Amino acid sequence: MTGASGEGGRAASAISIDSLSKSYSSIRALDRAGLEVPEGSIFGLVGPNGSGKSTLIKAICGILKPDSGRISVLGLDASRERARIRSRLGYMPQTPSLYEDLSPVENLRFFGGARASDALDADIEARLRFVQLWERRHDPLHTFSGGMKQRASLACAMLHDPQLLILDEPTAGVDPTLKQDFWRRFHELCGRGRTIFLSTNMMDEAMRCHRVAVIMAGRILVAESPEAIRSRGTTSVTLRLSGGSRTEELTDYPSELPRLLGEYGLAPEVEGISISRQSLEDVILAMLGGGGGETP
């Protein structure tokens, strides 16, 4: 993982959240949530509908004010320096907030209107080519599919080459081929020191992140690499023996497998070994207990 280093060689934090809480009437949307997002990384936020994902994202972007707690974004205090943060941040909401009667070019020109014309025109073309909408650049958005509107929204978020991209389910409705292109671009941006914080319900996307946080009922249950989270699950090892078979569930696969095999000393009676690990989705679902929530 790339990223700037702080004290002791640790990556600096693009986002730092401490004891963040937010309630809507009697509903506790965020409950003392804490999180560190390293610079130059792709950080995924996973949780069921109503777990608090969108509330957390809106708090980071300064769209809503938390009841208590602290948020630092790119080293700036989110409660006092929102204007400075917004100039360095690109935000793509879950539901595109674009002007339906305008074309992609007109939407991007509107959102980037404070910039010089020549540079803006070049950036608009580059972003629309990336999301494969250049050929439809003059068509009004109300003629677009949901996936195409998502692509136009991503182009808007990327327009000013922000240091931090906040993406709320960015590939929803996007076809698989284009999704692959998006992820290739995301990793290229990280290679240039940009940070991407995204929410997703797709486990194949969570596996592509450097780190993943699991949120449930407004609380962060875990924030680790996808492989570290997956290692919390069980591994099923089946030995096919000359007289039958034996299956064991291992909770600490690296240390327990040698013990299991050592019982046989790889004797001739061991005719085969098959290993089945729980997927990231299985482990996360076990953490969540198969339940959802009612928070926004």
- pLDDT tens digit string along 202-221? 899 999 999 999 999 999 99
Is the predicted pLDDT of residue 292 greater than 60, yes or no?
no
pLDDT higher than threshold 80 for residue 193: yes
Q: Is there a contact between 132 and 126 (Cβ–Cβ < 8 Å)?
A: no
* pLDDT at residue 56 greater than cutoff 90: yes
pTM of the entire structure? 0.82
pLDDT tens figures, 87-135: 899 999 888 889 999 999 999 999 887 665 678 889 999 999 988 899 9
What is the SS3 assignment for 181? helix
Shortest CA distance to 205 belongs to which of 230, 185, 226? 226
Residue 272's DSSP bridge partners are 240
Given a cut of 90, whether residue 73 has pLDDT beyond it is yes
Contact in structure between 211 and 224 (CB atoms under 8 Å) = yes
CB atoms within 10 A of CB 188: 10
As a whole number, mean pLDDT of residues 176-200 equals 90
As a whole number of angstroms, the distance between CA 293 and CA 169 comes to 18
263 vs 223, residue with greater confidence: 223
Q: Where are the beta strands (DSSP E) in the chain?
A: 13-24, 27-38, 42-46, 68-73, 76-77, 89-92, 164-168, 195-199, 211-216, 219-224, 235-241, 244-250, 270-277
Distance CA 79, CA 16 (A): 13
Cα-atom radius of gyration of the chain, to the nearest Å? 23
